[in-house]
Chain A
Amino acid sequence: MNVIAAVNVEALVIFTIVLSATLVITYWASKRMTGADAFWAAGRSITGFQNGLAISGDYLSAASFLGIAGLIFIFGFDGFLYSVGFLVAFLTVMFLLAERMRNAGKYTIADVLSFRLRERPARVAAAMGTLTVAAFYLIAQMVGAGVLIQALVGIDFSIAVVITGACMLCYVIFGGMLATTWVQIIKAVLLMTGILVMSIFVLERVGFNPIELFNRAEANTTDESTFSLGPGTFLSSPIDTVSLGIALVLGTAGLPHILMRFFTVPDSRAARSSVVWAIFIIGGFYVLTTFIGFGARALLGEGGVAAAGTGGNLAAPNLAQFLGGGEGTFGGDLFLAVIAAVAFATILAVVAGLVLSASGAVAHDLWSNVIRKGRESEHEEVLVARIAAAAIGAIAIVIAIIGGSGLNVSFMVGLAFAVAASANFPALLLALTWRRFNTAGAVTGVLFGVVSSIALVIISPKVWPGPDAEGGALSFYDLANPGIVSIPMGFIGCWLGTMLSKEHGNERQFAELHVRSETGLGAEKGGALEREREPELVAR
């Protein structure tokens, strides 16, 4: 069907335009690259609205766009459950972390932990949490990019992965956070425009009556369909649904590339307003996704399921082609190409954010503060960050190519959220709020969180199926999503480590962290780019 064997010319042209635009931005940003503040925090000069767009661009991965539209197309309501979790998560971020992170941190999650805990163990633990999350998420996105580009443009999987990786590295290495931010902003604008236009096309077919859309979607099923307007088709085990829901709502507050975005704004007020902008953009996006998903079901029907590929990932592009006039027409091919380019931009923006946060963990946390113990220059730190980014990117490219399209993307994204919710979130929250918390608590908490979520996934039926097809090898454990066990494990780890160690005496630092995180007194100053010697280069 739509899985084109030859190279799709329209798609190639539009891809090239998008790529060129992002590379021009990278060049512009590289001229403003003045130091570590510029590299990791865009000089703290991004406004609240810009950051809201950039958070949306950083957050809405291909799994959100193609994945959720595809899940709704194939399974119906259950796909929408993901959207709700992904969105409500921003309340957790806003109420518990956004402003405190901005006030207390500098470039990484570890900055906040090491503020009051013993520097080296705290940084190692935080870097471990960050790198684990970034690794799973990054590889998932790279595989997704390869599969998509292969299907939509006709370029071979391995080459597609290399192109994606090369662009991502270009943004990060030469343009740092400034280039990454603007790539994310452009992507958010493209994505919102694309999905809005598509939704209008879909709604136009049903006389702008969404209820008619649901009815037609429901009518367009056969006996073999898994589609339903109610829950329980994709997430068939209730306890698994709950476990996934909790991991989604707490996991976002532990995603390093999202938390890092709060360091790019001038103050906590901008951090706060950027979350609200993000809530409105992301919320609007997820409502529109339902029109795409249910629209694909209503218009493409059961016949479109095979063409939509694994997990229905190609449902949205196929729907675009249908809306444009169908396969083989100019309108159809053009709309398909545009949506494919939007999906590509989506992936680029997310992977750039991930590599940047991972480079922070390696260069700022492990290299500068653990290995060199803060004796090195800022210049060296940025150099190491660039080398680290190149290495991380190269490893991700190689793993994505070796793992190939067989790696399950949504499974790895789910794992990333589980680790983020179980390892990063408890340690961060307790460091900011619990006076008694100490270094041993943070280290055991992160360890418990990482180990329990990965171990539980390994023994889950998805990875380690039992002799019979039903259930896993371990009859007592059949959760696919570890959150409901691993998140409490993370908190228990923090508590146990704290209580069992005799370490005390960071009361004074807690007082400073407490005052600083709540009021912004002594926080990193904003608008660093504006203090540069060349006033005409002020980033606007």
Chain B
Amino acid sequence: MSSPDPRIDWEAVEQSPEFKELIAKRKSFVLPATIFFLSWYIGFILLAGYAPDFMARSVYEGLTVGYCIALTQFVMVAVLGLMYLRRSDRVFDPLAQKVKQHARGTTAPESPSAGSPADGGPSREEVPR
């Protein structure tokens, strides 16, 4: 496993503009999203630890501030999950596909038996839905 696939020049792929674009695009979503969800969550935990009276305050009858903020965590998880799914289908996956096609295009002639689905071979990258 740890021996690199000789038919693909991984360093060249890593330096290719397509791959760099993919990494940049994904980072521009994942990094802010991670910072946001960790801050929102740790903020909630800090409030629960250090401001129990505030969290126990009633919003409406028995419904407390704490319970409401906890529910916002559930909403946040669902929304970020769906956003990431959508972004991946529309942006990241097509870009990754481009990187793979490009990498295969440059290495196909070196392939010993073209068309055989050995590791890295042409037929293996089709994404089953």
A interface residues, Cβ below 8 angstroms from B: 77-78, 80-81, 83-85, 87-88, 90-92, 94-96, 106, 111, 114-116, 119, 210-215, 217-218, 228-232, 235, 237-242, 245-246, 249, 266-267, 269, 272-273, 275-276, 279-280, 283, 286-287, 290, 507-509, 511-512, 514-516, 518-522, 525-527
Instruction: Report B1-40 CB contacts with A as 1/0, cut-off 8 Å.
Output: 1101100101101100001001100100010011001100
Can you name 23 A-B pairs with beta carbons within 8 Å?
Answer: A77-B48, A78-B48, A81-B48, A88-B73, A91-B80, A94-B81, A211-B60, A214-B61, A214-B62, A229-B56, A230-B53, A230-B57, A235-B49, A239-B49, A267-B128, A269-B93, A509-B2, A511-B13, A519-B22, A520-B125, A521-B120, A522-B8, A522-B119
CB distance from B100 to the nearest CB of A (A): 5
Residues of B within 8 A of A249 (CB): 38, 41
Please name all residues of chain A whose beta carbon is closer than 8 Å to the beta carbon of B11 when the two chains form the complex. 507-508, 511
Assembled-state Cα–Cα distance A246/B67 (Å)? 19
**In chain B, residues 45-102, which have Cβ atoms closer than 8 Å to a Cβ of chain A?**
45-46, 48-50, 52-53, 55-58, 60-64, 66-67, 70-71, 73-74, 76-78, 80-82, 84-85, 88-89, 93, 96, 99-100
Q: Specify which chain A residues have a CB less than 8 angstroms from the CB of B14 in the assembled complex.
A: 511, 514-515
Most buried by B among A95, A115, A290, A526: A95
From B7, which residue of chain A is reached at the shortest CB distance?
A522
- The answer to whether A229 touches B64, judged by C-beta atoms less than 8 angstroms apart, is yes
A229:B67 contact, CB within 8 angstroms: yes
The 8 A-B pairs with the shortest beta carbon distances in the complex, nearest first, are: A230-B56, A214-B62, A238-B49, A245-B45, A232-B52, A241-B49, A512-B10, A215-B62
Residue contact A211 to B61, C-beta cutoff 8 Å: yes
A242: which B residues are within 8 A, CB to CB? 42, 45-46, 49
Not counting A115-B2, A211-B62, A279-B81, a sample of 19 additional A-B residue pairs whose C-beta atoms are within 8 angstroms of each other reads A77-B55, A77-B66, A87-B77, A119-B2, A211-B60, A231-B49, A232-B48, A232-B56, A241-B48, A246-B42, A269-B93, A269-B127, A269-B129, A272-B85, A276-B81, A283-B77, A511-B10, A518-B22, A520-B125
Query: Shortest beta-carbon distance, B86 to chain A, in Å?
Result: 10
A518 CA to B89 CA in the complex, in Å?
14
B residues in contact with A231, CB < 8 Å: 48-49, 52, 55-56, 66
Residues of B within 8 A of A215 (CB): 61-62
User: Which residues of B are found within 8 Å of A245, using beta-carbon distances?
Assistant: 41-42, 45, 48
Q: How far is the CA of A235 from the CA of B50 in the complex (A)?
A: 11
- Cβ A508 vs Cβ B62 within 8 A: no
Cβ-closest chain A residue relative to B50: A238
CB distance from A293 to the nearest CB of B (A): 12
> Which B residues from 105 to 129 make CB contacts under 8 A with A?
117, 119-120, 124-125, 127-129
**Distance (whole angstroms) from the CB of B96 to the closest CB of chain A:** 4
Contacts of B127 in A (CB 8 A): 267, 269
Given A94-B84, A230-B56, A283-B78, A115–B1 Cβ distance below 8 Å? yes
Once the chains are docked, how many angstroms separate the CA of A266 from the CA of B33?
A: 26
Q: Decide: B1 and A114 in contact? CB cutoff 8 A.
A: yes
Which of B52, B73, B85 counts the most chain A CB atoms within 10 A?
B52
CB-based contact B77/A88 at 8 Å: yes
Bound CA span A516–B100, Å = 10
Cα distance A81–B82 in the bound complex, in angstroms: 23
The minimal Cβ–Cβ distance linking A299 to chain B, given in whole angstroms, is 15
Question: Chain B residues near A238 (CB, 8 Å)?
Answer: 49-50
- A276 to B, closest residue via Cβ: B81
Cross-chain contact B70 with A519 (CB below 8 angstroms): no
B70 touches A80 (CB 8 A): yes
Chain A contacts for B84, CB-based, 8 A: 94-95, 272, 276
A519–B45 contact, CB under 8 A?
no
B10 pairs with A87, CB closer than 8 A: no
- Chain A residues contacting B74 (CB-CB under 8 Å) are 84, 87, 283, 286-287
Contacts of A111 in B (CB 8 A): 1
Nearest A residue to B80 via CB reads: A91
Complex: how many Å from CA A74 to CA B50?
Answer: 21
Contacts of B33 in A (CB 8 A): 91, 95
Q: Give the chain A neighbours of B23 by CB distance below 8 A.
A: 518
B24 to chain A: closest CB distance in Å?
11
How distant is B110 from chain A, measured CB to nearest CB, in Å? 15
Give the one of B13, B26, B57, B74 with max A CB within 10 A: B74
Chain B residues within an 8 Å CB radius of A114: 1-2
Instruction: Choose one: A91, A119, A518; the contact of B96 (CB below 8 Å).
Output: A518
Tell me the bound Cα distance from A95 to B64 in angstroms. Answer: 31
Question: CA–CA, A536 to B125, complex, Å?
Answer: 25
Residues of A within 8 A of B26 (CB): 518
- Are B30 and A95 in contact, with the CB atoms below 8 A? yes
Give the complex CA separation of A190 and B41 in angstroms.
30
Give the CA-CA distance A107 to B107 in the complex, in Å: 28
Complex Cα–Cα for A80 and B71 (A)? 10
Name the CB-closest residue of A to B18.
Answer: A519
Contact indicator B19/A525 (Cβ below 8 Å):
no
Q: What residues of A have a CB within 8 angstroms of the CB of B58 in the complex?
A: 229
Q: Find A84's partner among B30, B41, B56, B125 (CB 8 Å cutoff).
A: B41
Give the residues in chain A near B67, CB-CB below 8 Å. Answer: 77, 80, 214, 229, 290
Q: Most B CB atoms within 10 A — which of A88, A518, A519?
A: A519
Q: Is the CB of A515 within 8 A of B70?
A: no
Find A211's partner among B34, B46, B48, B63 (CB 8 Å cutoff). B63
- B125 → A minimal CB distance (Å): 7
**Pick from B71, B77, B89, B103: contact of A521, CB under 8 Å:** B103
A96–B13 contact, CB under 8 A? no
CB distance from B36 to the nearest CB of A (A): 10
Distance between A261 CB and nearest chain B CB, rounded to angstroms: 16
Out of A119, A232, A508, A520, name the residue touching B10 (CB < 8 Å): A508
Alpha-carbon gap, A246 to B103, bound state (A):
40
- A89 → chain B closest CB, angstroms: 9
Contacts of B81 in A (CB 8 A): 90-91, 94, 275-276, 279-280
